[in-house]
Amino acid sequence: MGKFADQSQVGQWLREQSPEGVVALRKLLREFVSWVWKEADARRLLHSDQREVFFDDTQLEVSGKQFEGASVNYNGDLALSWQTLWVGPFLCDSHVGSPKDVSDQLLPMLERNRALWQGMGAHFYADSGSSEGVYLDAIAAEGWHYAVSYNKWTGPLERTAQELPSNAWQPDGQSHHAFLRHQPEGRGAAQKFAVSRRRDGLFDRYGFIACDESQSDAALTGQRHRLKGE
């Protein structure tokens, strides 16, 4: 392309949009993503024969007084929250708003975009911002494989991990991993967790991922980097 719209042109276009226009744009985006999935070579889009679905929040730091909905976020910065849903390599939905609950758009996005994965093998990923019980309930209800980082409210999980017998732990490079069950507040059923344990000086350090019931040692190997990053 020879030229792109500059920030003034983009700003003018955004200010002219109505709620109805936003709904229509989302619909058009879903139709485009659905068309690409039908037309493209599946080998270019699938990972381990599954669609990957990813939800995330990006904090957009702003300055000035002309940012509607901006507020001080968990890091102490004035920011907006940009929540996005991706299916494979495609951004299929997004929402810009206040950074109070960084996953408050997860449920509406799942509802709007379900046709993009329903009835097909899919694996859902999200970080700890989506680990509250109400979100884990909704994620599990989709019937897909999932892995959600869990680094909040870890006290009960750490105590349970410390009580696991030695034969429950499997070696995993320089760490060990195991599985345990715990029912977080707001979750309708006991949740399966993958736990990573590694020595940090004189103490053990733990990392947790909320996962679906089909997760096994083999499945966990592919997620090892996520556990070590938390």
Q: Confidence class of residue 119 from pLDDT cuts 50, 70 and 90?
A: confident
**Quick one: what percent of the chain has pLDDT higher than 90?**
65
Tell me the mean pLDDT in the region 179-183: 95
DSSP symbols for 40-89: S-GGGT-BTTBEEEEEEEEEEE--SS--TT-EE-TTS-EEEEEEEEEETT
Q: Position of tokens 């970080």?
A: 127
Binning pLDDT at 50, 70 and 90, where does residue 15 land? Answer: confident
pLDDT tens, 77-89? Answer: 989 999 999 999 9
Q: How confident is the model at residue 217 (pLDDT cuts 50, 70, 90)?
A: low
Q: Quick check: 103 and 130 in contact, CB under 8 A?
A: yes
Q: Is the dihedral of CA 36, 38, 44, 47 positive or negative?
A: positive
Contact criterion met (CB below 8 Å) for 48 and 64: no
pLDDT per residue over 145-180, tens digit each? 999 999 888 999 999 999 999 999 999 888 999 999
